[in-house]
Structure 1
C-alpha cells in the first residue's frame, strides 16, 4: 500500500518473538501483529531496535517482513528497518525488504566509523535512488554515534529523498527544529515527523509531531492509541494522565539488575516478558548474547502490568 503523507498516529516498532533456540517464532509474531492491530495502531514498524534487528540474520529479517506484510495484507502500512553499518549493506536490505512487501524503509546513518554530514546526505540520496518505496530517516545517536542534523533532514526532505523522520534521540529541542522546519518551509510537503520517545509523546504531539513509534506500545497499544486520540482532541488533562500512566508502566525496562546485564537486555527482556504474561507470545527469550531476566525480575514486570491495569 501507499503510506499516508504524512504518516500519523501510533506505529509500534514490533518486537520479534523468538523460539527457545532463537529462531523467529512465526505464530507468536502473527499473534503480536493481531494484538497491535486490534489495539487500533495506525501502522507497523518491523526490524527496528525493539525488533532486535541488529541480532537477526538476513534470513530472519526477510522472514519477519514476509510474515508481517503477508498477514497484514495491506490493512496498515508496514515500515521495515534496513539498519546496518554501511550504505552498500543497507542497499542490499532495501532490495530484500521491499521485495518482501515493505511499504517504506527506515534507515539510520552509517555507523562504526564517524560520518560527516556530507556523507550522511550522500548516503540517504543513494538509498532514495535505489528504493521503490519512501525512505524514512532514523535518528538514533545513542547507538549510531551520529546525531542527524535538522538542516540535513530538511534539505533531503525538500528534494524528495526523505519522506519522514523517526527521532529516538530524546532531544526535544532538536526534534522541534525539524517539526517547525517541516511546517514552515514551502519546499517541504507531506513529511512525517515521528517521535520514538515513549515518555514525551504528549509533548511531541503538542509541538506538532505527526505521530509516535513507542516500543512500549507492543505491551499496551490501546494506551498509546488512547493517548494519541486525547492529544488530537485537545484534552490536555486526559492526555497528561494517560502519558503519566504509560510513564509508570515504562518503569518495567529497569527491572534487570545493571550489575549483570545491559540496558537493552533489561528493556527488551521486560517487553517480551510482559507480552508472554499477557498471553501474546509463547516465549520471552531474547537474542544472544543478551542476558535473560530472572524469575524474580519477570515477577516485577507482572507487578508493573497489574499496576497499569493490564493483568
Structure 2
C-alpha cells in the first residue's frame, strides 16, 4: 500500500465560536495539506475530537473533506472502539465510499489480553470493506499491543496492512520493524520519533504537527525515507521544539493554537477539552513567529 508511505496528517475539526463545525476552515485546512506535500489525510481520529461529534457532524466532516480533497490525496477514516460487536456493526453499515483505509485503535479501557486484541482485530478486518491500519497508543488505551501480536496479525490477517505505532518507545518500534513482513507498514504515531523510526525502516508518520508545518514535515520524512539522515535531522531539530509545545497540555489544544496563529482556524475546543493556557499560547505563537 504505497499510498500510505510518507506523511499523513491527523486532521483537527475546526469549530466556530458557537462550537459548530467550521466548514470553511476545514476546507482551507485540507487545501493547505494538499498544496504542501502531505501524502494522505486521516479523518475523524482522536485529534479531530471525534468523541465529541454527533453522527450528523461526523458525516458533515467526512463529506466536507471528501469534496474538498476531490480525489487528490488518499483518505483514511478513524473507526475504533472497545465493543467489538458494535464496531463490527458500524463497519458493516457505514458508507466508506471515498476512503482508502480504516485506522482502528486498539481497544481501550477494558484492557484486553494480547489474544483478545488479536481476536478483536480479526473480527474488525473481516467486517471492514477497506484495508485496516492498526493504532497502538498505550497512553490512551492503557494496554500495549506488543510487537509479537502485531507480527502475528500482519502474517495471519491479510486485510490489515500496517500499524500506527505510538507507544513512544523507539526500542519497541525497532523490534516491531524487525519482525513484520517487509510490505507491512510501520508508521510512526509519535511526532518526536518520526525520523528515528523512518530511518530504522518505518514507512513515515501519521502526524499532528504535520498539519501545522506540512511542507517541512513532509520534506523531513521524504529525506528520511531516502536515507538522507543529515539533511533530515536539520529539519527534525528545527521542528522538534514545537512538538514538545503542542502536546504539553494535551491534543489538540496545542495544535489548534498553532493553526489559529497561522490563520487556519479559530482556537476553539469542546469540553472536556479546553484551550491551552495563555502562557502556552504565547510560547507557541512565539515559536511560529520565529520559525
TM-score class normalised by the smaller sequence: over 0.9
Q: Which residue of 2 aligns with 1:162?
A: 160
**Which one of the candidate residues 259, 267, 272 is aligned to 1:275?**
259
Q: Which residue of 2 aligns with 1:258?
A: none
Corresponding residue SS for 2:160: coil
Q: Unpaired runs of 5+ in structure 1?
A: 183-187, 256-262
Q: Which residue of 1 aligns with 2:175?
A: 177
Offset, 1:6: 6.8
Q: In 2, are the aligned partners of 1:86 and 1:111 still within 8 Å (CA)?
A: no
Q: Which residue of 1 aligns with 2:197?
A: 204
Q: In 2, are the aligned partners of 1:94 and 1:105 still within 8 Å (CA)?
A: no
Corresponding residue SS for 2:135: strand
Map residues 165-244 of structure 1 onto 2, 5 A cutoff. Answer: 165-182=163-180, 188=181, 190-244=183-237
- What are the superposed Cα offsets for residues 21-72 of structure 1, whole Å, 9 maximum, x if unpaired? 2222111111100011111111011122222222222332232222212221
Q: In 2, are the aligned partners of 1:135 and 1:161 still within 8 Å (CA)?
A: yes
Corresponding residue SS for 1:12: strand
Map residues 48-63 of structure 1 onto 2, 5 A cutoff. Answer: 48-63=45-60
Structure 1 residue 117 corresponds to structure 2 residue 100: no
| d(CA) in 2 for partners of 1:296, 1:170 | 26
Q: For residues 32 and 248 of structure 1, do their structure 2 counterparts lie closer, same or farther at Cα, with a shift above 3 Å needed?
A: same
The more displaced of 115-124 and 17-26 is 17-26
Q: In 2, are the aligned partners of 1:251 and 1:304 still within 8 Å (CA)?
A: no
Q: Which residue of 1 aligns with 2:269?
A: 286
| d(CA) in 1 for partners of 2:247, 2:111 | 30
Map residues 1-311 of structure 1 onto 2, 5 A cutoff. Answer: 4-5=1-2, 7-95=4-92, 98-159=95-156, 160-182=158-180, 188=181, 190-253=183-246, 263-264=249-250, 267-281=251-265, 283-308=266-291
The more displaced of 109-118 and 130-139 is 109-118
Q: TM-score, length-normalised on structure 1? A: 0.87
Q: Which residue of 2 aligns with 1:260?
A: none
Q: Unpaired runs of 5+ in structure 2?
A: none
The alignment of Structure 1 onto Structure 2 pairs a total of residues equal to: 290
Q: TM-score, length-normalised on structure 2? A: 0.92
